[in-house]
Amino acid sequence: MPSTIRYRSYAKINLYLDILRQRRDGYHNIETLFLTVSLADTLAFTEQSSRITLVTSVSELESGESNLVYRAAALLKKRTGCPQGVHITLEKRIPIAAGLAGGSGNAAATLVALNRLWDLRLTTPALQALALELGSDVPFCTVGGLAAATGRGEQLQALLPLRPTWFLLLHPPVAVSASRVYNNPALEHSRERPFAGKTRAFRKAIRALEQDALEAVVFNRMEIPVFADHPQLAAAKQELLDKGCLAAAMSGSGSTLFGVCTSQKMAEKIAASFNGYETSVVRNVPMGVECIQ
């Protein structure tokens, strides 16, 4: 029987996200606090001859060479010269194009899982170097937890784990293109210059995080252009605050919104009061991917 292993890939939220100057390569420098949460997709990897094949649970996703999971497997195979193939089954629960790094997490899980299945024995730094070729937040997704990220999001500083915290995620039926947000003329940029790699505002946010003052941390500069195009998202954020969340923000380039809650019970109560939105009640988790079989 062919060998099969299964992994979870966890969603991430941005507790803090600021946009700095645009770089010569066209990317923007950012400052962000990544946090993985318990909403997860599941991937199964089964050995086969030389081919890479992929089946997904949602019709919106292509299963060929444009899919990030397929690209991750093909990149790893090419760079290592591995002769083996794999059949991958992807069960999606993380919404697509929602600011939760679902695709990036799937790619990270693919690199980690195939490194094990194919017995490649690559180190974490080697996997993260490949991950960066797939996307700016894929390196973080290979490890997860809580991290301060700069550069394109690939320069990571692991932070001490956040205390157990519950979040309510709102999933509006809106897909937001990150590239369109970055190129939106309404997107403002921080005027601060980094000192020793971080701006004063980012250092302040990290200190507040270390003091468990999440209400002083949560911030997303991308909200201005996204909310201008989708005012219902601004209204939903305000509703999260009005219903008792300690803080609320959009994750990444959206459209997912999150509220910080004091308990699972509080998160579930607020979730039940929302009409017209899918919701997820989640907690922080210390990893980006997890082997479950």
Q: Which token pair is 197?
A: 């790699």
Please list the alpha-helical segments (H only) found in the chain. Answer: 68-80, 102-117, 124-134, 138-143, 178-182, 200-210, 223-229, 231-242, 264-272
Q: Say what the pLDDT of residue 250 is.
A: 97
- How far apart are alpha carbons 105 and 84 in whole angstroms? 23
Which residue spans of the chain are classified as CATH 3.30.70.890?
Answer: 166-283
Residue 255, C-beta contacts closer than 8 angstroms, at least 6 positions apart = 97, 98, 99, 171, 172, 174, 175, 176, 226, 230, 233
Residue from 12, 41, 77, 237 carrying the catalytic annotation = 12
CATH 3.30.70.890 correct for 166-283: yes
Beta bridge partners of 188: none
Low-confidence ranges of the chain (pLDDT < 70): 1
Helix, coil or strand: residue 44: strand
d(CA 107, CA 128): 11
SS3 104: helix
Architecture of domain 4-158+287-291: 2-Layer Sandwich (3.30)
Would the pTM count as exceeding 0.85? yes
Please indicate whether residue 137 is annotated as part of the active site: yes
* Distances from the Cα of 161 to the Cα of 80, 174, 209, 267, angstroms: 34, 31, 10, 21
Give me the pLDDT at residue 63, please: 87
Where do the CATH 3.30.230.10 domains begin and end in the chain? 4-158+287-291
Q: Which of the 8 DSSP states describes residue 195?
A: B
- Report d(CA 122, CA 199) in Å as an integer: 34
pLDDT tens sequence across 156-201: 999 999 999 999 999 998 878 777 888 888 888 888 888 888 999 9
- Which residue among 18, 41, 137, 237 is the active-site one? 137
The CA R_g of the chain, rounded to the nearest whole Å, is: 19
pLDDT of res. 132: 96
